[in-house]
Amino acid sequence: MDYGPAPESTKEANAWLEQHGRRFGLFIDNAWTEPGETFASFNPADGSELAQVTQGTSADVDRAVEAARRAQPGWVAMGGHGRAKILYALARLLQKHSRLFAVVETLDNGKTIRETRDADIPLAARHFYHHAGWAQLQSEEFADYRAVGVVGQIVPWNFPLLMLAWKVAPALAAGNTIVFKPAEFTSLTALLFAEICQQAGVPAGVVNVVTGDGSVGEAIVNHAGIDKLAFTGSTEVGRIIRKATAGSGKKLSLELGGKSPFIVFADADLDAAVEGLVDSIWFNQGQVCCAGSRLLVQESVYDRFIAKVKARMQNLRVGSPLDKSNDVGALVDPVQQQRIHGLVESARAEGCEVWQPACEIPATGSWFPPTLITGASTTATVAQAEIFGPVLVAMSFRTPGEAVQLANNTVYGLATCVWTESISLALDMAPQIKAGVVWINTANQFDAACGFGGYKESGFGREGGKEGMYEYLTPLAEDARPPAPNAADKGKVKPATDGNPFAIDRTAKLYIGGKQARPDSGYSRAIAGANGAFLADVGEGNRKDIRNAVEAAHKASGWAKTTAHNRAQVLYYIAENLAARADEFAARIAAQTGAKNAEREVQASIERLFYWAAWADKYDGLAHQPPMHGITVALNEPVGVIGVICPNENPLLGFISLVAPALALGNRVIAVPSQTAPLSATDLYQVLDTSDLPGGALNIVTGSADELARTLATHFDVDAIWRHDGSAEGCAEVERLSAESLKRTWTGGGRGRDWFSAQQACGRAVLQHASQVKNVWIPYGV
């Protein structure tokens, strides 16, 4: 028995296209422009032209940004309830026109109608319903935040409408206005969505849709009127955007590529795992950033599992995306087909075995058969590169430890699937894998209540959940930050009055791996007091010192596994030992800065240590209840190794305010203290030695803030860098240089911060910079 044809009607979709004469303008300020210069949007299943879409220009982007800027105050003034009603209306209209959206998406993208009808459109509506709730609750749940302003959003072609919903819904809920750019290949459902915005009563200028190629995206990225950018796409373009926005002050979230492992243990339900694998790699023809494209199978069941996979591949139906009985549709464009073909042929040339089932491929359109590659080394191109197609690369492992090593052997960190009947093993694996999402005994589960986003070169920021709302909000305290303080010009350092050649050397060393260390350069720099008099020499750290500090930090990885209670105890000990030497530290602050009330800064530092110690075991995750038989646990994990450039003002309090929260959450820190007043940090060495802080958890390197920041920003084993010394140029440079490894940044720009203010230096906003959210999906009864 075989499946008969079950074609979906395109009558309504074609009628909608004909209604517009198959030519579309731009949607700006609640009005449609006349089509200008256009390009064709094709049906990838047969190559036929669907419509002509306008190629936007930089002038169009200017008009869209201006409209969004005009509309933003009124959109905020509408209040949470007013915005919630409109988001609710959008959700209802998506449901009302769900079949039309599904068919248009399938025609434009090539994915099967089953996927658009049963997954993409319902989940898009779910996001608007969910975020209508956040809009309603905004004044209560986000009382200390405001909307960012005008948001630029750029999405890819693999989930055109769903990516729109992921980005537009939270942005609108928070009170932002939007300039939205759909992918050049797949613009039609975004234009259909613009129509329902008019029906739902979205005010003019709140949502603007500008179609076109990469030049439109570039205009949005570089526009001075954009306050926040949200981008989903390739890692290469993500790097370009990070560099382009460096120093601009634009808030940025990037959801980029992936090379996700699909791990199968010997005790797994192998048949269920095969079905999960089908959903993971052949869903949407493998054109999914979190596709389980690396199959890792425990050695004892490898041959049996591969046999099952091949048998299942034989039954995959490849054909017209509009046929409801087909499993695999068309690739989005011939360019994508050619790229996938090239990667598969490179695997064949490297000696890998390439296996494909016998299936009839349509003669026209962009197609590629489901493909299994075995025999690839861990360094093979197909084992490392994001193929973005229906291609699976399989290899084996022996132990859970080896599975973790293979899973993490990638520059990406977006998602992972773990299949095992042992819940203990699954939950042991989940925190060890460097990925933003872990699915246990399931695959490709998504929900608006659960955050989605990656680690490493898969980007930063989250979409969905409460953490996704924060991406579109700014703490009110940021508006109250003072200008960057002027660095005190102490003039030339006056020589020490003691000319005794046998006087005690007062050169402060570096602090690396829990020990004082001489700088590699062999040089030191003189530190002057507020009156210009010589106080002491400090070591002149360089690249090798940063290298040593990074190595020490990685050796101290046990700090992240230490219980939160123990981390809190260590911070309390540091505060206790600092208090015992409060007068000494106050005198040092006064000597360096001329502060009249240095005792206040020491006391504030002690209190700040207590504050972050208190948070160490209280910054808990969340347990979500998505519409599945199970739960999703959102874990707040440490970022990893953080480089911190500390402020020049308040040299002790500024240092403590940045280092302590990072340590509290299990990060290891390489701190560059105040360049002009570093002695408050170097005096801490003995405090740290007597406070049970493990060696390598905190490393202190003195020297030039600019030079050391460059080294930290370009070091691929540093996971994040913070810079708060008031240097606008330095902060821009850190953001630009960090793009190569796509590390997270938190910079103060050319503004200062009141380090005594709890609003500006404390709270969840700081904790969010010191952590990253991992969502672990745990089904019941499977």
For residues 176 and 275, membership in a common domain is answered with: no
Q: Specify the number of domains making up the chain.
A: 3
Does residue 240 form part of some domain?
yes
Question: How far is the C-alpha of 257 from the C-alpha of 479, rounded, in Å?
Answer: 34
For residues 179 and 281, membership in a common domain is answered with: no
For residues 435 and 320, membership in a common domain is answered with: yes
Q: For this structure, is 255 an active site residue?
A: yes
Query: Among candidates 320, 353, 305, 625, which has minimal Cα distance to 465?
Result: 625
For residues 673 and 746, membership in a common domain is answered with: yes
From the number of C-beta atoms within 10 Å of its C-beta (0-12, 13-18, 19+), residue 246 rates as: buried
Query: Among candidates 668, 703, 676, 701, which has minimal Cα distance to 511?
Result: 701
For residues 116 and 224, membership in a common domain is answered with: yes
For residues 594 and 661, membership in a common domain is answered with: yes
Does residue 652 form part of some domain?
yes
Helices 79-96 and 160-174 cross at an angle (nearest 10°) of 160
Q: What angle do CA 412, 414, 419 make, to 5 degrees?
A: 110
Does residue 629 form part of some domain?
no
Residue 342 sits in a domain of what CATH number?
Answer: 3.40.309.10
Does residue 523 form part of some domain?
no
Side chain identity at 38, as an amino acid letter? T
For residues 247 and 291, membership in a common domain is answered with: no
Tokens of 325: 């009985």
Tokens of 605: 């530092």
Does residue 458 form part of some domain?
no
pLDDT value of residue 782? 63
SS3 label, residue 449: coil
Query: Which single residue is written with the structure tokens 């879409």?
Result: 53
Q: Work out the number of other CB atoms within 10 angstroms of the CB of residue 497.
A: 7
For residues 312 and 366, membership in a common domain is answered with: yes
Nearby residues of 454 by Cβ (< 8 Å), 6 or more positions away:
255, 256, 258, 412, 413, 414, 415, 435, 436, 437, 460
Residue 420 CA to its chain's centroid (Å):
28
**Where does residue 777 fall: left (phi above 0), alpha (psi -120 to 50 degrees), or beta otherwise?**
beta
pLDDT value of residue 484? 86
**Domain range for 136:** 11-256+467-476
Does residue 288 form part of some domain?
yes
C-alpha dihedral (586, 588, 594, 598), degrees to nearest 10: -10
DSSP string spanning 383-439? Answer: HHS---SSEEEEEEESSHHHHHHHHT-SSEESEEEEE-S-HHHHHHHGGGS--SEEE
For residues 234 and 294, membership in a common domain is answered with: no
For residues 232 and 309, membership in a common domain is answered with: no
Does residue 491 form part of some domain?
no
Name the stretches of the chain with pLDDT < 50: 488, 491, 502
For residues 117 and 224, membership in a common domain is answered with: yes
Question: How far is the C-alpha of 191 from the C-alpha of 26, rounded, in Å?
Answer: 8
For residues 36 and 157, membership in a common domain is answered with: yes
Tell me which of 8, 115, 218, 255 is the catalytic residue. Answer: 255
What is the edge-to-edge ordering of all strands in the sheet holding 534-539?
Answer: 507-508, 534-539, 524-528
Residue 676 sits in a domain of what CATH number?
Answer: 3.40.605.10
Question: How far is the C-alpha of 440 from the C-alpha of 433, rounded, in Å?
Answer: 12
Question: How far is the C-alpha of 776 from the C-alpha of 781, rounded, in Å?
Answer: 16
Tokens of 693: 């802080």
Does residue 454 form part of some domain?
no
pLDDT value of residue 5? 85
pLDDT value of residue 502? 45
Nearby residues of 91 by Cβ (< 8 Å), 6 or more positions away:
125, 126, 128, 129, 132
